[in-house]
Amino acid sequence: MDTISGPTELGTLLTFGYGKLKGPDDLAKLIDGERIDVVMDVRYVPTGRNPLWRPGLVAETVHKGGIPEYLHVKGLGNPDFRSGLPATRVFNEEEGMGTLMDALASGRNVALMCVCADTPHCHRRLIVAKARQLRPDLRLVELEVGKAPQRA
């Protein structure tokens, strides 16, 4: 007999900046028991000063930090990141938000990652606002070094 399963519970959206993290041990401390199924790297260009967060090593850093999957989502990147101005847009909202919302709808807990240490001054705030507009019932956890997780 086939079983019919109910609707999948919406995953949780988490967000963090890796700017103050030196590597996988710091990442593991930051997530401290939070279940994260996938890190979505929302940098427009997935590179940085610390080699552990550059292409080729960033997925390994994420895995060693205790997170099973890494995915770069350029569509959610800030194309104006070098301007020094506050972010006002993402590169390809339709594509990027589709990827994010599909993952959350499948019950996966997704962490948005870029270099910025705090969400209010980062383009991640735009992504969070759009996700909440699409799904007002979305659970949010903001992770920041040295602070307790902020749940909303």
Other C-beta atoms lying within 10 Å of the C-beta of residue 120: 8
Contact 151, 123 (CB under 8 A): no
CATH of domain 13-145: 3.40.1010
Cα torsion for 113, 117, 121, 122, to the nearest 10°? -20
pTM of this prediction?
Answer: 0.92
CA distance 80 to 58: 22
Query: What does the pLDDT profile of the chain (152 residues) look like in tens digits?
Result: 444 445 679 999 999 999 999 999 999 999 998 999 999 999 999 988 888 898 889 999 999 999 999 999 999 999 998 888 888 999 999 999 999 999 999 999 999 999 998 777 899 999 999 999 999 999 999 999 999 999 99
Q: Residues 6 or more apart from 52 whose CB is under 8 A from it?
A: 22, 23, 24, 58, 61
